[in-house]
Amino acid sequence: MSQGLLALPALPVAAGAAVYLIYKRYEPSSPASALFLLCIVPAILIAGVREHYSSLLAASFGVYAIFWATLAAFIVAYRLSPFHPLAGYPGPLLCRVSKGWLAYIVGRSGKTHLYIRDLHLRYGDVVRIGPNELSVTAREFTEAIGPKGLPKGPYYETRNHKAGTSLNAIRDSALHAVRRRPWARGMNSASMKYYEELVRETVGDLVDGLKQRKHQRVDFSEWMTYFGFDFMGHMAFTHDYGLLKNGFDQDGLTPLVELAMRDVAWTSHVSWAVEYLKWVPNTNRYWPQIKALGVKTVKARVARGSTHHDLFYHLMDEEGHEKIKPDPTLVAIDGQLAIIAGGDTTATALSQLFYFLLRHPEYLERLRKEVDEALPQGEGLRLDISKQASMPFLNACINEALRLYPPVLSSLQRRVEPGTGGYAIGTHFIPEQTQVSFHAYTIHRDAQYFSPLTDTFWPDRWLSQDAYLLPSGDTIAAADVVTTREVFFPFSQGPTVCAGKTLALTEIRSVTCALLQTFDIKIADEAAFDAWEGVIEEMFTTRRSKLPVQLTLRS
């Protein structure tokens, strides 16, 4: 074989290897660097080997195929090799090769929560779910999402906007602390007083809407969505989406949120790809529409003004606490975050709670008894919010629904940043550039943290008692009941804990009490209830199906 023929594969192989090393060392992610390294470099090589091929087309095909195959082979070989820093952690082959596999699972079925749980059952407390990502259920890891924990990982990059980053997507901890300040004021106890009024009013709208549909079949899940979004509209922007009053979603807000969340869910696993997806027709198109809606709502709020101290008032710092005035575009982004983060999650929590209560009428009756005793009927709806917060069985039922189906089912991702020297935790040392993720669905269903009846709706586990009556009729001692509150995080934990946690719990308690005071609720379609859990999809938030019920007024 002549020297020239030897050069034929050697050149693109060497170039592929060199480009691989550049990616590994410097992680360039811009489209310009990709264009240069992946397209222009091999194009230059074509000139060197052209004479050995019958045509320019054949030379181009040969060089690109060898170059990219070499690059791919190096990537895969290293990720699977014993030299990879995460080689000691178990995990399925496809996960170790590419994060694209999880993106595929989300996009295809939305069953990430089930998949991750299954992996932990097979492999243990720490599982490699991506080339550079570990999913953890080991208790010591909760420190990583605590106050001195790790910053957020690239999973959140998809929520960046051209104009800036939403609070939830800020990865820099110092910047996050600054942006969180107006939220803290917007959620303090003085602000909460006003929101509590709004909760009462919106609960009133919900009850009125449902009263008009008594004896009809209604989709409980859909009405909870109406409640969630209507409340957030009032609370964030003094804006009325009118879902409860109209009894339908005339602006198509809820399907738009669902489609946008689906886009976000799968792309978050391959966030580097978002830059490129812009050029692929029919992908990632709903998120920009959501952004536009946020901007429109803010513009309307500015034009309208408001005498109320809604969330917008605090985010815009209308009281003048900050030296630098907030950027209205960022406020629009955060307002839109609040609508989704607060509307959809609360609706999911309420739907799950009533799903379980209706499936377990014994708990429904027990809860109704507690509600009736604590909040006697007589003067219309008595929504005593402070009393609700101390109703033990109500709060036990809410916790139990949030445990089994946290509305954010998966993927709280953190990262050990380059230059930090790694992160030592318990018996583990996590190398730099590793993502660590927490999947609430999996952790909440780990028998070492919640037992007995780990997969069963059993609210009693949240009550403090000397002995516990099991649904089977047996009694067990308190020492045999494990309820590990430290790993219960439906609202996340630490500095990026849900900004609306207290408000969300207020909403959930108030809706529950009001509905139980007003209605007898019955399952209207057993088959839909049977299918409910199987249809749940993880889309960062939860995609739900229908929950048909029939309501009659209590005598």
CA distance 220 to 521: 10
Q: Which residue from 233, 407, 459, 494 is in contact with ligand HEM, where contact means CB under 6 A?
A: 407
Binding site membership: which residues? 498
Q: How far is the CB of 407 from ligand HEM (least distance, A)?
A: 4
Site track 148-187 with ligand HEM (rule: CB under 6 A), x = hit? -------------------xx-----------x-------
Tokens coding 185: 């004021």
DSSP state of 150: P
At a CB cut-off of 8 Å and minimum separation 6, what does 145 contact?
A: 412, 414, 438, 489, 492, 493, 494, 496
Residue 491 lies near ligand HEM (rule: CB under 6 A): yes
Least separation in angstroms between residue 42's CB and ligand HEM is: 39
Residue in 332, 408, 487, 547 binding ligand HEM, rule: CB under 6 A: 408
Q: Number of residues interacting with ligand HEM: please give it, by CB under 6 A.
A: 22
- Residue 335 near ligand HEM by CB under 6 A: no
209 vs 228, beta carbon nearer ligand HEM: 228
Residues numbered 504-543 forming contacts with ligand HEM, rule: CB under 6 A:
504
Q: Which residues, including other chains, have CB under 8 Å from residue 369's CB and lie 6 or more apart?
A: none
CB of 252 to ligand HEM, least distance (A): 22
Count how many Cα atoms sit within 13 Å of the Cα of residue 67 in the half-sphere of its side chain. Answer: 22
Q: What angle do CA 475, 481, 482 make, to 5 degrees?
A: 170
Query: Site for ligand HEM (CB under 6 A): which residue of 149, 182, 342, 494?
Result: 342
**Choices 237-245, 300-308, 333-341, 365-373; region in contact with ligand HEM by CB under 6 A:** 333-341
Among 341, 358, 383, 404, binds ligand HEM (CB under 6 A): 341
Dump the DSSP string for 388-417.
Answer: HHT-HHHHHHHHHHHHHS-SS-S-EEEEE-
Name the H helices within 455-500. none
Q: Which stretch binds ligand HEM (CB under 6 A): 250-258, 270-278, 338-346, 451-459?
A: 338-346
**Residue 197, CA distances (Å) to 190, 241, 260, 513 in order:** 12, 18, 31, 16
Q: Return d(Cα 236, Cα 511) in angstroms, integer.
A: 19
- Please pick, from the candidates 349, 367, 487, 511, the single residue that binds ligand HEM as defined by CB under 6 A: 349
Q: Which is nearer to ligand HEM, 444 or 461 (CB)?
A: 444
User: CB-wise, 209 or 342, nearer to ligand HEM?
Assistant: 342
Q: Least CB distance from residue 346 to ligand HEM, whole Å?
A: 4
Minimum gap (Å) between residue 349 Cβ and ligand HEM: 4
Exposure letters 172-205 (e unless 16+ CB within 10 A, then b): eeeebeebbebbebbbeeebbeebbebbeebbeb
- Per CB under 6 A, 500 contacts ligand HEM: yes
Chain Cα centroid distance, residue 361: 30
Nearer to ligand HEM, 437 or 517 (CB): 437
Contact 160, 29 (CB under 8 A): no
Neighbours of 154 (CB within 10 A): 19
Contacts with ligand HEM by CB under 6 A lie at 167-168, 180, 337-338, 341-342, 345-346, 349, 407-408, 412, 490-492, 496, 498-500, 503-504
